[in-house]
Amino acid sequence: QVQLQESGPGLVKPSQTLSLTCTVSGGSISSGSYYWSWIRQPAGKGLEWIGRIYTSGSTNYNPSLKSRVTISVDTSKNQFSLKLSSVTAADTAVYYCARDPGLLSGDWYFDLWGRGTLVTVSS
């Protein structure tokens, strides 16, 4: 059974870069027709899609975050990663990694989620 697990620092200083990794276990990140996404949720608020990557390295980003976001993949480690630069308090949120099975169908939905990790931006 495939599982996703986020990891990374829980505290980041303002203006620095937030870095998170999602490890895929129970299956290969390269198998199947999946995109791999990052989604975040500020406390008490709704969900915001950040971006996604395919194992070829092809990416799509939320236009509102595109200038600050980089998503990469390391198939040898079965991981994909998020970097968000120049963070402010507004970037404080629970960050989720998720699987999107829409590569072949063109669909957009998230059928598997990690448990999420809280990242706080504070000095």
Residue 35 interacts with another protein (CB under 8 A)?
no
Which of 62, 70, 78, 85 binds another protein (CB under 8 A)? It is: 62
Q: Which of 34, 110, 119, 121 binds another protein (CB under 8 A)?
A: 110
Q: Choose one: 8-16, 18-26, 75-83, 114-122; the region binding another protein (CB under 8 A).
A: 114-122
Q: Least distance from C-beta 48 to another protein, angstroms?
A: 7
The answer to whether residue 115 forms part of the interface with another protein (CB under 8 A) is: yes
Q: Is 95 in the site for another protein (CB under 8 A)?
A: no
* Best CA proximity match to 47, nearest among 100, 94, 115, 108: 94
**b/e for 76-98, b at 16 or more Cβ within 10 A?**
eebbbbbebeebeeebbbbbbbb
80 binds another protein (CB under 8 A): no
Neighbours of 9 (CB within 10 A): 13
Q: Rule CB under 8 A: which residues touch another protein? A: 45-49, 60, 62-63, 96, 107-111, 113-116
